[in-house]
Structures are given as C-alpha cells and as structure tokens.
C-alpha cells in the first residue's frame, strides 16, 4: 500500500513469510513432499506457520490485510 511504512520487525517478518510461502509453493509444485514437510516444520518451530499458511491461502502478506483498517482509525 503506498504510503504505508513497516517497522523493521514487520518488514523482516514479511520477507521471511513471503520466502517461506514461495518456497513451499515451489516444493509442492515439484512434488518434493518430504522437503516441504521439513520446511513447514521449521516454520512451526519459528512460530510463523500460521502466517505462511495464510499467505499461501490468500496471497496476502501478514500486514497487508490490516493496512486499510489502520487508515480508517487515523481518519476518525
């Protein structure tokens, strides 16, 4: 979203989730199921598995879906 600025922590998390999501898609596409499970287990251990799944299911990064809500709070 133009004009929206991420904190350094949000930006880092966005990049990690996007990378894991893209990696999962590629592994699944090439039928590398064992490697897919290992990568997803690592995401579980890092506690970002729910974000990766949401990214894969919706195509949204963790903070994109909330960016519009924040602008309404500032306007009122």
- Answering whether pTM is above 0.85, one says no
> Is the pLDDT confidence value at 75 over 50?
no
Q: Looking at residue 65, what is its pLDDT?
A: 46
b/e for 12-37, b at 16 or more Cβ within 10 A? ebbebbeebbebbeebeeeeeeeebe
What is the pLDDT confidence band of residue 2, given thresholds at 50, 70 and 90? low
CA-CA distance, 16 to 48, in Å (whole number)?
A: 9
């Amino acid at each position: 979203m133009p004009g929206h600025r991420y904190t350094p922590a949000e930006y880092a998390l966005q990049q990690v989730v996007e990378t894991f999501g893209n990696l999962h898609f590629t592994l699944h596409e090439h039928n590398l199921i064992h490697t897919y499970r290992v990568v997803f287990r690592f995401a579980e251990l890092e506690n970002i598995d729910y974000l990766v799944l949401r990214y894969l299911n919706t195509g949204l990064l963790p903070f994109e879906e909330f960016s519009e809500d924040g602008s309404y709070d500032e306007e009122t």
